[in-house]
Structure 1
């Protein structure tokens, strides 16, 4: 089995579980540390000639991270693709088990079993917090409905004020965001790395929490520690003076 992954979290999942089968990954696949496979460009714009040169038995893709035209081009070239699209934690756990079995795992790895245990009873606060969750600015983009990260936060007691929005990543103006009067502003460090100068200053006086984007949005081995890591970061709420 020869596997190319165009999804960083799936790269980590395969490399940790079946390191011998992974032959290619994107330039953004940073985990596990020291990964030595052929790099094939970015998730959005991979070098398909380089991917095909690796003669993969399957290429791993995600609906959000990768483009449909690249999936179609690989399929047209006769390369099987395995496409993931979890919008909840249970879906992610299920899809990970199915993917690993498809690439040759003989059983469930311990990290996946640990992730199931961790998410069976995640830490939650006594009172839910009403939050906006920006993932980009210029323009402002926030988590909307039906997203994996939104489900992660919901399970940790954070109520996303845009969870019922028809768009998965709406683009409200800053005035609209402020008008929601959130109890908390959640600022992940990816895909946009917020700082005190461009995140909290937009919401003076509102508590904010910087979160690990890898633990919020990745579905792979990081899922096992995500509830503990994110709960601790949510507990360290700060308030920007203003």
Structure 2
């Protein structure tokens, strides 16, 4: 099977499970390191001619990460798509299993079994910390309701204060962010690369945790280490 992935986390999952099946991936597919496949541009703006030139049997896409018009154009060109859209950790684990089986994996890979066990072993949090979770600034954009990353944090004892917002990615003012009186500001390093010098200064007096955006938002082999790594990062403020 010839697979092109337009989703970085799925690129990592397929590369770890079906070596040699990937023939193309986006420029943002950084894992595994040293992946040697054709590059087809970005997730949001892939070069569809390059995708088609690779003669894929299937192209992996995500409802949130990829544009509907690109998916429609690939379908119109006769390309089969495998579409993902997990909103919770459990959905992601199950969806990965189904996808890999559909792509030809003979059984559940060890990394996926390990990831299921790692998330199942997490203790329940008695007193979750209320957090604001920016994913961009200029303008400020935060996690809202129904996101995979929001469920990751919920499982780790962090309650997103915008979890009930009807928008998946609200754009509140900085004044509104301050008015939430959150216990914690969670600052991932992607899609916006928050750092010690870029982000925390906007929230004086509130603890800020700098965390791995890949482990917060990717659903793939990174899920095996995400519980331990993120727990450590969330307590380092």
Band the TM-score falls in, shorter-chain normalisation: over 0.9
Aligned equivalents of 2:89 and 2:110: distance in 1? 17
Q: Is the 8 A contact 2:196 2:210 kept in 1?
A: no
- Residues 77-226 of structure 1 mapped to structure 2, 5 A cutoff: 77-122=77-122, 127-226=127-226
Gaps of at least 5 residues in structure 2 are none
Q: TM-score, normalised on structure 1? A: 0.96
Structure 1 residue 123: Cα displacement: 5.1
Q: TM-score, normalised on structure 2? A: 0.98
Structure 1 residue 151: Cα displacement: 0.2
- Residues 52-63 of structure 1 mapped to structure 2, 5 A cutoff: 52-63=52-63
Q: Is the 8 A contact 2:8 2:31 kept in 1?
A: yes
1:71 is matched with 71
Aligned equivalents of 2:85 and 2:103: distance in 1? 17
Aligned equivalents of 1:197 and 1:174: distance in 2? 17
Aligned residues: 237
Aligned equivalents of 2:122 and 2:58: distance in 1? 34
Relative to structure 1, the CA distance from residue 194 to residue 123 in structure 2 (aligned partners, 3 Å threshold; closer, same or farther) is farther
Aligned equivalents of 1:112 and 1:7: distance in 2? 18
Runs of 4 or more above 6 Å deviation:
none
1:233 is matched with 233
Between 1:72-81 and 1:120-129, the stretch displaced more is 120-129
